[in-house]
Chain A
Amino acid sequence: MVAVAAESPIAVSRRRIVKGDRVLVAALSGLAVIAVAVVVGPWLWHYDSNAVDLAAQLSPPSIDHPLGTDNLGRDLLARVLLGAQTSLGAGLVVVLAGAVLGSVTGLLAGALGGVVDSVLTWLTNSILCFPSIMLAMAVVMALKPGIPAVVIGLSIHSFPWYMRTIRGEVMRIAAQDFVKSTNAIGATQMRILFRHIFPHLVSTIVLQMAAVFGAAVLSLAAMGFLGMGAQPPTAELGAMITEGQQFFLTGQWWLVAFPGLVLLVAVTLTTIIADRARELLDPRGEYIVAD
């Protein structure tokens, strides 16, 4: 049975709705577990992720090595924990960098209009002509393979999405009566922008961040898969999948399965949260929860 929550944009109502949405609660809980595991796990787990032990090469999962070992005998649990930390942490940086850059440029383009708007729109359209992976590869080629270069490339590609969305929202809100009134009583443009318009953009930015996060983590993994992301011996989920793929067909399934599973779960949970948050923050206030 499907129940419809009370129509309200009020925070109290939203909190109640969130509590009643088991899918959302499960997704948030799952992501919290992963976040805690990747932050605390590497400190607690007694194996060094880079410790080579050729005597234990390609050991299947066991009590000593719950996720098995890789081709250099390194403990896979330790590497998965650290790899997830690298992948999810880098994804977070891409999201934040894109959000900051995209918000500033979106605000400027939407509020100032004219030449500034034209130039920024042209710039972002140009950037969006390139697939994110291609842009990241170009940055990597210009700098050097590694997480920092990939993060820069993905951040450059992600900010236009924020910018375009926020620019449109700024233009829409600026045309509303309350903004015109504020302007009429003599408020400065900066005050109007940051005090009266920006708060209305927060939900948009948060939604965009959630959407970008999953894509960023997958792009990062793809770059690792191409050998242009994390470099040895850094643990990163995409690179681990790449390294493990040649062993998948020879019976050492755990080298690909566990990093792949963590990647799949983290991205799926983020996508669910973004999906539900979009509905939750929908200004029309229509939100459905499952019993």
Chain B
Amino acid sequence: MTRHKPPRGPIWHRTALGVTLVLFATAASACSNSGATGSAAASRPFTVNWAANITSLDPAFTCPGDENSFASNFYGRLVKLSTREISPGVTAAVPDPSKVEPDFATKWDVSDGGKTYTFTLQPGKKFANGDPLDAAAVKYSIERTVKMGACGATSLQLGLTKPALISSVEAPDPTTVVLRLTQAYPGILYSLAQSRGSIYDPKEIEANGGVQPNTPNQWLQSHTASSSGPYVLAEYVPGNHATLERNPNYYGTPALEPTVRVNFTTSVPTLQVQAQSGEADVTLGLPPQAVNNLSTQSCCKVVTAESPTPVTVSMNYQGPLTDNAKFREALTYAVPYSDIIKKVAYGYGDSYYGPVIPGMAGYNQALEPARSFDPGKAKQLLAESGVSSPTLDLMINPTTPGVSEIATLLQSAWQQIGVTVNIDAKPPADFTTLFNQGKYQSALLYENSIPIGAYELRKKLTCDSASNNQHICIPGTMPLLDQLNNTADPAAQQPIIDALVHKWLENSPTIILYRAQFTAVVRPNVKHFAYAPNFRLADWSR
């Protein structure tokens, strides 16, 4: 009888072959990486690797900082933030509305008690496609942002939307724009210098969906309305890469690099390997541990800057358990702040405690010293709070680097004072929705703030406001906020801000874990780099 040999299932052979192939591929990859020479780097365009998920290119609609940063490179603005050198070849934007500089506007006059701004524009300028870049385009752009009623409208008007801060925009001639406000507010210049102040080509937008209130323009999610900024979007593959080319019609100083390639990837190992091998000139969005490691290697140098991005635990002011002020305060004293900064942020952060971030307009250092790690005091406050065997839900978005680590650390630390923490991981979209709607007990997140104290206080402390997603409503704050809203002079604002900060501190609605520093890993041959809340790639070069 003939016996068939059934297939033996050569598992070991297949496994060995697989392992060999993987090792070979790894070795080949390492060899090719190490072979990336300076000349090879010079032959490719200036390359930025960015750990960002870009889903929209419309600054009037989108909320996330990365999306605004990327999109802002295609649009000019009336004014720009002044800068200062923080190290050789590296500048940082100065977050001070009183120090904005002319950009597309050559000058401006303030009249009517601070309620009217008359901007004089550069004459005879064009968008990248040749359409006229004039006062009509500026008027259309500002009105569009306000009309859309999305994140752009809120930020442009610094949270003053009821009633709207911007009452009208007029374009009496091609080089004059008159912006009228419902109240004097110098901070408007700061927001006009941000992505929200972008100038779009009206013809492009009208030809591609126009403006619908409270509705995103789908075409602008992946296209730009021509370009009034330093770069045009030559190629864009969402979620993968973009190629930016210098705008020949740009009204300002031309971009330093003629072409910039931006690769979008959230894979930390990929970002690390490409930074090490010199395949990226600038790497953005690496977690602190990777930045710390690369800082010790000859391939790279690390640029840091102060940024308005505190890492916080927001507590629902009206939630069960978190509506107890003593309980909230107890938790603030049970956080190993220095351990978190040293072991999780790898030193790329600093401590403070308050609603106004250090360096912001309105910050008062004497009022906002960091809270200490004092488990004894935490236990005492917990006893005073009257709660027993508390269990707290801590909502996180686990895809944000470092968040799971910090949540686990807090869980461990709070367990020691008798507070049980359930880490409630949500998918990114759910996290954003629930957080913005205030449907959580506590939430751990990286905040992205506008560095104007008055704006942040208004956003966080206005009772029943849509932006107050912690539902904070402290007796006595609303009259102070009204006073603040009607006070234009920064010096006169300070005592009001201080009083609001006192109210906030008394109630401990948020745990400020630390303020994260901005970090970028750059190749040593990068000669110019500038940090700003909206990254301006035109000022980066090798």
A residues neighboring B (CB under 8 Å): 2, 4, 50-52, 54, 57, 71-72, 140-141, 144-146, 227-228, 231-233, 243, 245-250, 268, 271-272, 275-276, 278-279, 282, 286-288
How far, in whole Å, are A288 and B10 apart by their CA atoms in the complex? 13
Indicate which residue in A246, A268, A278, A286 contacts B289 across the interface (CB closer than 8 Å): A246
Is B411 an interface residue, CB under 8 A from the partner? Answer: yes
Is B268 an interface residue, CB under 8 A from the partner? Answer: yes
Contact with A along B266-291 (1 / 0, CB 8 A): 00110011001000000000010110
- Pick the 9 closest A-B CB pairs, nearest first: A275-B9, A250-B293, A52-B412, A231-B425, A246-B268, A232-B404, A227-B398, A233-B408, A54-B343
The answer to whether B398 touches A232 (Cβ under 8 A) is yes
Known: A245-B268, A275-B9, A282-B6. A250 touches B425 (CB 8 A): no
The answer to whether A249 touches B11 (Cβ under 8 A) is no
Known: A52-B408, A145-B426. A272 touches B11 (CB 8 A): yes
The answer to whether B343 touches A271 (Cβ under 8 A) is no
Among residues of B, the one whose C-beta sits closest to the C-beta of A141 is B427
Query: Whole-angstrom distance from the CB of A165 to the nearest CB of chain B?
Result: 19
The answer to whether A232 touches B3 (Cβ under 8 A) is no
The answer to whether B412 touches A247 (Cβ under 8 A) is no
Is B405 an interface residue, CB under 8 A from the partner? Answer: yes
Contact with A along B6-23 (1 / 0, CB 8 A): 101101000100000000
Q: Which residues of A contact B339 (CB under 8 A)?
A: 54
Q: Tell me the dominant secondary structure on chain B's binding face.
A: helix
The answer to whether A228 touches B3 (Cβ under 8 A) is no
How far, in whole Å, are A247 and B343 apart by their CA atoms in the complex? 14
Among residues of B, the one whose C-beta sits closest to the C-beta of A227 is B398
Q: Which residues of B contact A288 (CB under 8 A)?
A: 5-6, 8
Known: A52-B408, A243-B404, A275-B9. A231 touches B398 (CB 8 A): yes
The answer to whether B423 touches A72 (Cβ under 8 A) is no
Is B505 an interface residue, CB under 8 A from the partner? Answer: no
Is B162 an interface residue, CB under 8 A from the partner? Answer: no
Query: Whole-angstrom distance from the CB of A11 to the nearest CB of chain B?
Result: 20
How far, in whole Å, are A288 and B427 apart by their CA atoms in the complex? 50
Q: Which residues of A contact B404 (CB under 8 A)?
A: 232, 243
Known: A52-B409, A245-B268, A271-B11. A233 touches B423 (CB 8 A): yes
The answer to whether B289 touches A231 (Cβ under 8 A) is no
Query: Whole-angstrom distance from the CB of A207 to the nearest CB of chain B?
Result: 13
> B479-518: which have CB < 8 Å to A?
none
The answer to whether A145 touches B6 (Cβ under 8 A) is no
Among residues of A, the one whose C-beta sits closest to the C-beta of B268 is A246
How far, in whole Å, are A4 and B396 apart by their CA atoms in the complex? 59
Indicate which residue in B293, B343, B425, B426 contacts A232 across the interface (CB closer than 8 Å): B425
Known: A246-B269, A249-B273. A71 touches B289 (CB 8 A): yes
Query: Whole-angstrom distance from the CB of B312 to the nearest CB of chain A?
Result: 18
Name 13 A/B residue pairs within 8 A (Cβ), A-sorted: A51-B412, A54-B409, A71-B405, A72-B405, A141-B430, A231-B425, A232-B423, A233-B423, A249-B273, A249-B293, A250-B293, A282-B6, A286-B4
Q: Which residues of A contact B430 (CB under 8 A)?
A: 141
Which of B15, B293, B401, B408 is the most central at the interface, judged by chain A CB atoms within 10 Å of its CB? B408
Is B399 an interface residue, CB under 8 A from the partner? Answer: yes
Is B93 an interface residue, CB under 8 A from the partner? Answer: no
Q: Which residues of B contact A276 (CB under 8 A)?
A: 9
How far, in whole Å, are A231 and B394 apart by their CA atoms in the complex? 12
Among residues of A, the one whose C-beta sits closest to the C-beta of B411 is A233
Q: Which residues of B contact A228 (CB under 8 A)?
A: 427
Known: A250-B290, A286-B6. A232 touches B427 (CB 8 A): no
> B369-414: which have CB < 8 Å to A?
396, 398-399, 401, 404-405, 407-409, 411-412
Q: Number of B residues whose C-beta is below 8 Å from A?
A: 37
Q: Which residues of A contact B269 (CB under 8 A)?
A: 245-246, 248-249
Q: Which residues of B contact A51 (CB under 8 A)?
A: 412
Indicate which residue in A57, A144, A279 contacts B343 across the interface (CB closer than 8 Å): A57
Contact with A along B347-363 (1 / 0, CB 8 A): 00000000000000000
How far, in whole Å, are A249 and B287 apart by their CA atoms in the complex? 13
Q: Which residues of A contact B399 (CB under 8 A)?
A: 227
Which of A50, A249, A276, A278 is the most central at the interface, judged by chain B CB atoms within 10 Å of its CB? A249
Known: A140-B427, A232-B404. A246 touches B287 (CB 8 A): yes
How far, in whole Å, are A54 and B409 apart by their CA atoms in the complex? 9
Q: Which residues of A contact B3 (CB under 8 A)?
A: 4, 286
> B106-158: which have CB < 8 Å to A?
none
The answer to whether A272 touches B6 (Cβ under 8 A) is no
Among residues of A, the one whose C-beta sits closest to the C-beta of B4 is A286
Q: Which residues of B contact A245 (CB under 8 A)?
A: 268-269
Q: Which residues of B contact A272 (CB under 8 A)?
A: 9, 11
Q: Which residues of A contact B11 (CB under 8 A)?
A: 268, 271-272, 275
Indicate which residue in B15, B273, B412, B425 contacts A268 across the interface (CB closer than 8 Å): B15
The answer to whether A232 touches B6 (Cβ under 8 A) is no
Which of A4, A232, A287 is the most central at the interface, judged by chain B CB atoms within 10 Å of its CB? A232
Query: Whole-angstrom distance from the CB of A141 to the nearest CB of chain B?
Result: 6
How far, in whole Å, are A74 and B125 apart by their CA atoms in the complex? 61
Q: Which residues of B contact A247 (CB under 8 A)?
A: 289
The answer to whether A246 touches B290 (Cβ under 8 A) is yes
How far, in whole Å, are A34 and B3 apart by their CA atoms in the complex? 36
Q: Which residues of A contact B426 (CB under 8 A)?
A: 144-145
Q: Which residues of A contact B343 (CB under 8 A)?
A: 54, 57, 71
Q: Which residues of A contact B289 (CB under 8 A)?
A: 71, 246-247, 250
A279-B6, A288-B5, A288-B8 known, 11 other contacts, Cβ within 8 Å: A54-B343, A54-B409, A141-B430, A144-B425, A231-B425, A232-B405, A232-B425, A246-B269, A275-B9, A276-B9, A279-B9
Among residues of A, the one whose C-beta sits closest to the C-beta of B399 is A227
How far, in whole Å, are A70 and B425 apart by their CA atoms in the complex? 20
How far, in whole Å, are A54 and B174 apart by their CA atoms in the complex? 62
Indicate which residue in A2, A72, A146 contacts B408 across the interface (CB closer than 8 Å): A72
Query: Whole-angstrom distance from the CB of A210 to the nearest CB of chain B?
Result: 12
Q: Which residues of B contact A275 (CB under 8 A)?
A: 9, 11
Known: A145-B398, A249-B272. A232 touches B290 (CB 8 A): no
The answer to whether B287 touches A232 (Cβ under 8 A) is no
Query: Whole-angstrom distance from the CB of B503 to the nearest CB of chain A?
Result: 34
Q: Which residues of A contact B5 (CB under 8 A)?
A: 2, 286, 288
Query: Whole-angstrom distance from the CB of A285 to the nearest CB of chain B?
Result: 10
How far, in whole Å, are A51 and B415 apart by their CA atoms in the complex? 11
The answer to whether A232 touches B273 (Cβ under 8 A) is no
Q: Which residues of A contact B272 (CB under 8 A)?
A: 246, 249-250
Q: Which residues of A contact B276 (CB under 8 A)?
A: 249
How far, in whole Å, are A286 and B424 apart by their CA atoms in the complex? 53
Q: Which residues of B contact A233 (CB under 8 A)?
A: 408, 411, 423
Which of A50, A51, A54, A144 is the most central at the interface, judged by chain B CB atoms within 10 Å of its CB? A54
